[in-house]
Amino acid sequence: MSETAPAPSAGPVAAGDRHISGVPIRLDGVTKRYPGQEQPAVDDVTLEIAAGETVMFVGPSGCGKTTLLKMLNRLIEPTSGRIHLGDEDVTDQDADQLRRRIGYVIQAGGLFPHMTVGTNVGMVPRMLKWDKERTAARIDELLDLVGLDPAVYRDRYPRELSGGQQQRVGVARALAADPPILLMDEPFGAVDPITRQRLQDELLRIQEELGKTIVFVTHDFDEAVKLGDKIVVFDVGARVVQYDTPERILAEPAEDYVADFVGAGATLKQLTLTRVGDVDLVQVTTAVAGSPSAEAVAAARAAGDDFVVVLDARGRPISWPTVAELTRTATVPQTVDERLPVVGLRSTLNDALDTMLAASQGGVVVTGRRDGLAGVMAVETVMAAIQRSRTEAAG
Amino acid sequence: MTAAPEVRAGDAPEPAPAEETARHADPSAAGGGGWRALLLQPALVVLGVVAFLVWRLTADLSDTEARQLGWAVLGDSIREHLALTAVAAVIVLLIAIPLGIALTRRPLRRLSPLVVGIANTGQAAPAIGLFVLLATWLGFGFGTTVVALVVYAALPVLRNTMVGIEGVDARLVEAGRGMGMSALAVLLRVELPLAVPVLLAGVRTALVLLVGTATLATFIDGGGLGVLINTGITLSLDSLLISGAVLVALLALAVDWLGRLVEHVARPKGL
C-alpha cells in the first residue's frame, strides 16, 4: 500500500500512520447447523480479524460466507461457538442493541423507499435517542462523506436516486452511529462495472479516513484483491482454506482449490494489485477554467503537450480539450466534460483500463486528495504492466 | 513533460454515462390519470342523485309508492343501510387487519392457509344462504345481519393485509433488523407503511361488497335499502325496485370513491 498523500490526522489510537476507529473481531469455534441438514452450514470457524482491517470473504456460493457474516451481527444465531468484538463476548448480548453498534450494508443499499434519504440515514441515531440537531448534523456530515450534496439529496426519496447513489446512502446509513465495525454483504453486486469501481474507490477513501474494521462478502475476486487488506478464501462449510494478504494469495495459493478459484488469469490479476498511485504518472499542462486560452496554448506548446487539462476553481479536473480546440476559444471553457475518464490514486490499473475502454480514450486523468489533479496515465503504462507480469510469469 | 500520452481529448460528443444521472421521478406522474378518475366518479354520483331527486319530485306516484318513497322513510332506509355497512366495516377492520398481520409473523405463518381457506369459504358461500343460515341460528335482526356481513367481507381485507405485508421486499426487513430495529419496529415503520396501498385496496373492496350485500338484510329483518327493492318485487312496483337499486348503486359508488380518496392520500410518499 503506497499512498503518496499524507495520512489524515491521527486520532487517539493510531497504528503506523493510520487512524483506526475499529475494534478486532474474534470468532471462536463458530458453528451453524440447520435442522434437517447433515452438513453444518458453517463448521467450527475460528478466525481473528485485526482492528481497522478490511477483510474480504470470498468463496463459491453456498460456502457459508454470508451465513458467517450474518452471525457476526447475529441476524443468524450461531449453534455453538463464541463471537468477540473488541474485548466483549457478544454471543449472548441483546441482538437489537448489538446491531445498533455494527454497520450493515446490503446489496442495492436496502434503503426504505417510503423514507427520505435523510430519514434513512438517521434511523440508527434516532434509535439511539440522539437529539434532533445532532442527528441532522450527522446526516449532513455523512452524506458529505459519501460524496452526495446534503442540500440536494437529504429530502429526496430513494427511487429518485441512481443505483450508485442509493448504495452510497446505504453506506452512509451504516456509518451513521459511527460503529467500529462495518459488515458488507455483496454491497456492490447490483451496479454496473464503472459505478462499482467508483464505489470501491470511495470505500477505500472512506476507510482510509475512518479505519473501521470491515468484513466484506463478495464473489468477485478482483474486488477482494482491490479492497482487502486480507482475504479469506472459504470452501464448503465455511472451511477457511487460506487467510492472507491479496499479494500472497495470488503469489502462493495454499491449495489447488485456491488456485482454481483465483483463476487462470492470475497474472493479469496483478493488474488489480497495482494501484494507479504506484506507477509513474505523466504531468501535463493545466489551465484554470475561464482564464485566457492564449496563455494555456502557449504553455502547452512550450511543454510539447497537445492537450490541456482544465481545472475548476477548486483544482478539480473538468475537461481535457486539445490545443487545437483551445485556439478556437478566447477563454478556457467552463464546461464539465461528463465523459472525462477519471480514476483515483487508489484505483487499480485494471480500473484505469476499464475506464479508458468505457470512455474510448487512450488515457485517464488521475485525481488525488480532494479530487485534485494528480496527473495523467496513458494506456501504454497499463500495457507495460501487463507485459511485465507476463514476463515474470514466464520467467 | 515529454511523452505526452496519446489521448483523443475533448472528443466526447455523446452524453454522459448514466451512472450518477438520477432518475428524476415526476411527482405528478403517479396521480396523473388517478386524479381525473377521482374527479369523474363523484361527478357521476352527484349527477345520479340529482336525476333521482328530479324524478322523485316530478313523478306521478301511487299512494303505496309515495309512502315507501316518502322522505322520512327513504332517509331511515339510507341511514340503516349506512349503519349496517359502517358497523360491519369497523368490525371487519378490527378483526381482519390484526389477524392478517399475525398470520404473517413467523410463529403463525403455518396457519395462514387454514385461515385463508376459512375466509374463502365465507365469501364463496352464496350470500343469501349465509344470511338465512345465520338467521336460523342467531335469530333475525340488525345483529345477525352485521355478523353475516362481517363473515362475508372479511376475506378481502384479511387477504390484502397478508399479501401487502408479504409483498414487502425481504431485504428491507433484513436491513431493518440488521441496523438494530426490533421486530415490532420493523413491522410498524417498514412493513405496514409499505403494505398500506394493497391493504387499503382490500378495505375498499370490502366496503363496496358491504354496501351491495347489505341489501340482503331485508330478508332477515335487518332493514336498509333492500326493503325498497324487496317491496318493489313483491308488489310489482318497478318505481320502488328501481329507486332502491339506483340508490344502492349510488351509495356503493360514493363509498368506493371515498376509499380511493383515502388510498390516494394515505399512500406513502416515495413509492
Write the pLDDT tens digit of every residue in A17-31: 678 889 999 999 999
What residue in A sits closest to B6 (Cα-Cα)? Answer: A362
Å from A130 to nearest chain B CA? 15
CB contact under 8 A, A159 and B23: yes
CB contact under 8 A, A174 and B179: yes
- Alpha carbons A320 and A287: distance in angstroms, whole number: 10
Please compute the mean of the pLDDT values over residues A241-251 and round it to a whole number. Answer: 88
Q: Is the pLDDT of residue A214 over 80?
A: yes
Q: Give which of A346, A375, A23 is closest to A214, Cα–Cα.
A: A23
Residue numbers of A between 66 and 105 with CB closer than 8 Å to B: 73, 75, 96-101, 104
Gap between the Cα atoms of A284 and A297, Å rounded = 12
CB A159 within 8 A of CB B23: yes
Q: What pLDDT is recorded for position B66?
A: 81
CA–CA separation, B9 and B29 (whole Å): 40
Q: Cell numbers for B152, please give them.
A: 362475508
Q: Which residue of B has its CA nearest to A109?
A: B175
Residue contact A339–B23, C-beta within 8 A: no
Highest mean pLDDT among A155-159, A293-297, A354-358, A384-388: A155-159
For helices A132-145 and A163-174, give the axis angle rounded to 10 degrees.
Answer: 130
pLDDT of residue A265: 62
Written as nine digits, the cell of A56 is 474480504
Torsional sign, CA A216, A220, A226, A232: positive
Helix, strand and coil content of chain B, in percent to the nearest 5, comes to 80, 0, 20
Nearest chain B residue to A198 by CA distance is B19
Candidate from B5, B177, B268 with C-beta closest to A378: B5
Instruction: For residue B199, give the nearest of B96, B107, B88 by alpha carbon.
Output: B96
Per the prediction, chain B carries an average pLDDT of 83
Show Cβ contacts of residue B78 under 8 Å, excluding neighbours closer than 6 positions.
B225, B247, B251
Q: Does A254 touch chain B (CB under 8 A)?
A: no
For chain A, what's the residue count? Answer: 395
pLDDT higher than 60, residue A104: yes
Collapsing DSSP to helix, strand or coil, B168 comes out as coil
- In this structure, the dihedral spanned by the alpha carbons of residues B42, B44, B47 and B49, taken in order and rounded to 10 degrees, is -70
pTM: 0.77
Provide the shortest C-alpha distance from residue B107 to chain A (in Å). Answer: 17
Residue A129 C-alpha cell reads as 435517542
Of B6, B25, B194, the CB nearest to A114: B194
**DSSP code for B62:** -
Q: What is the pLDDT of residues A156-208, one digit of tens each?
A: 999 999 988 999 999 999 999 999 999 999 999 888 888 888 889 889 988 98
- Considering only CB atoms, A115 lies closest to which of B2, B185, B270, namely B270
What is the distance in angstroms between the Cα of A93 and the nearest Cα belonging to chain B? Answer: 12
A351: Cβ–Cβ under 8 A, 6 or more apart, which residues? A197, A200, A201, A226, A276, A343
Whether A329 and chain B come into contact, CB under 8 Å, resolves to no
- Mean pLDDT of all residues in A361-365: 89
- Window 277-306 of A: residues touching B by CB (8 A cutoff) are 282-285, 303-306
Contacts of A284 in chain B (CB under 8 A): 1, 4
Torsion sign over Cα A313, A316, A318, A323: positive
Provide the residue count of chain B: 271
pLDDT (tens digit, 9 = 90+) per residue, A162-171?
A: 988 999 999 9
The answer for residues whose C-beta is within 8 angstroms of residue B246's C-beta and 6 or more apart is B48, B52
User: How many angstroms separate the CA of residue A235 from the nearest CA in chain B?
Assistant: 25
For the cut 60, the answer to whether the pLDDT of residue A72 exceeds it is yes
3-state DSSP of chain A: CCCCCCCCCCCCCEECCEECCCCCEEEEEEEECCCCCCCCCEEEEEEEECCCCEEEEECCCCCCHHHHHHHHCCCCCCCEEEEEECCEECCCCCHHHHHCCEEEEEHHHHCCCCCCHHHHHCHHHHHCCCCHHHHHHHHHHHHHHCCCCHHHHCCCCHHHCCHHHHHHHHHHHHCCCCCCEEEEECCCCCCCHHHHHHHHHHHHHHHHHHCCEEEEECCCHHHHHHHCCEEEEEEHHHEEEEEECHHHHHHCCCCHHHHHHHCCCHHHHHHHHCEHHHCCCECCCEEECCCEHHHHHHHHHHHCCCECEEECCCCCEEECCEHHHHHCCCECCCCCCCCCCEEECCCEHHHHHHHHHHHCCCEEEEECHHHCEEEEEEHHHHHHHHHHHHHHHHC
CA distance B199 to chain A (A): 16
* pLDDT one-digit tens code per residue, B145-166: 998 899 888 889 999 999 999 9
Q: Of A8-12, A112-116, B214-218, where does the model show the most confidence?
A: A112-116
Per-position b or e across A333-368, b if 16+ CB within 10 A of its CB: beeebebbbbbbbbbbbbbbbbbbeebebebbbbbb
pLDDT confidence bin for A254, thresholds 50/70/90: confident
- Nine cell digits for residue B126: 352464496
Q: Write down the residue that cell numbers 387487519 correspond to.
A: B97
Q: Lay out the sheet containing A42-49: strands in order across.
A: A42-49, A25-32, A80-85, A88-89
Read off the pLDDT band of A38 (50, 70, 90): confident
Question: Using CA of residue A386, residue A390, residue A392, residue B3, what is the dihedral sign?
Answer: negative
* Residue B256 binned pLDDT confidence (cut-offs 50, 70, 90): very high
Q: How far is A303 from chain B (nearest CA, A)?
A: 6
Of A114, A173, A362, the CB nearest to B271: A114
For residue B4, the chain A residues in CB contact (below 8 A) are 282, 284, 304-307
| Mean pLDDT value across chain A | 87
pLDDT at position A139: 95
Smallest CA-to-CA distance from A363 within A322, A315, A304 is with: A322
Q: Is A106 on the interface with B (CB under 8 A)?
A: yes
A60 by Cβ neighbours in 10 Å (0-12 / 13-18 / 19+) ranks as middle
The segment with the largest mean pLDDT, out of A183-197, A321-335, B79-93, is B79-93
All residues of chain A having their beta carbon less than 8 Å from the beta carbon of residue B23 are 159-162
Record: contact A161-B22, CB cut-off 8 A: yes
Question: How far B174 CA sits from the closest chain A CA (Å)?
Answer: 8
Q: Are B9 and A307 inside 8 Å of each other by CB?
A: yes
Mutate to test the interface with A, among B14, B20, B168 (most CBs of A within 10 A): B20
Residue of chain A whose Cα is closest to the Cα of B14: A339
Is residue B13 pLDDT above 50, yes or no? no
Range A35-45 average pLDDT: 90
Whether residues A75 and B178 touch (CB distance < 8 A) is answered with yes
pLDDT at A267: 62
Rounded distance, CA B188 to CA B183, Å? 9
In this model, does residue A10 exceed pLDDT 50? no
B8: nearest CA partner in chain A: A361
Report the gap between the CA of B30 and the closest CA in chain A (Å): 13
Q: Which three cell numbers stand for residue B118?
A: 376459512
| A73 interaction partners in chain B (CB closer than 8 Å) | 178
Q: Is the pLDDT assigned to residue B4 strictly greater than 70? A: no
Q: Dump pLDDT digits (tens) for A261-281.
A: 776 565 667 777 888 888 888
Which residues of chain A from 335 to 374 reach within 8 Å of chain B, CB to CB? 337-340, 358-363
| Mutate: best of B7, B184, B186, B190, partner A, most A CBs <10 A | B7
In sequence order, the β-bridge partners of residue A106 are A185
Distance CA B206, CA B151 (A): 11
Interface of A with B in 20-49 (CB under 8 A): none
Helices (runs of H) and strands (runs of E) counted in chain B: 11, 0
Q: At what angle do helices A349-359 and A193-210 cross, to 10 degrees?
A: 140
CB < 8 Å from B in window 142-171 of A: 156-162, 164-165
Residue A136 above 90 pLDDT?
Answer: yes
Best mutation target among B168, B179, B269 (most A Cβ atoms within 10 Å) is B179
SS3 B147: helix
Q: Are A142 and A170 in contact (CB under 8 A)?
A: no
Chain B residues within 8 A of A320 when measuring between CB atoms: 7, 9-10
| From B4, B25, B271, residue closest to A284, measured CB to CB | B4
Query: What is the phi/psi pair of residue A180, to 5°?
Result: -70, -20
Q: How confident is the model at residue B179 (pLDDT cuts 50, 70, 90)?
A: very high
Compute the count of residue pairs across chains A and B with CB atoms less than 8 Å apart.
Answer: 152
Distances (CA, A) of B131 to A5, B125, B152, B216, B221: 82, 10, 10, 8, 10
**CB count in 10 Å sphere of residue A27:** 22
Rounded mean pLDDT, B79-93: 93
C-alpha cell at B223: 332493514
Angle, helices B238-266 vs B192-213, to 10°: value is 170
3-class DSSP assignment, residue B258: helix
Check pLDDT > 90 for residue A111.
Answer: yes
How many angstroms separate the CA of residue A96 from the nearest CA in chain B? Answer: 4
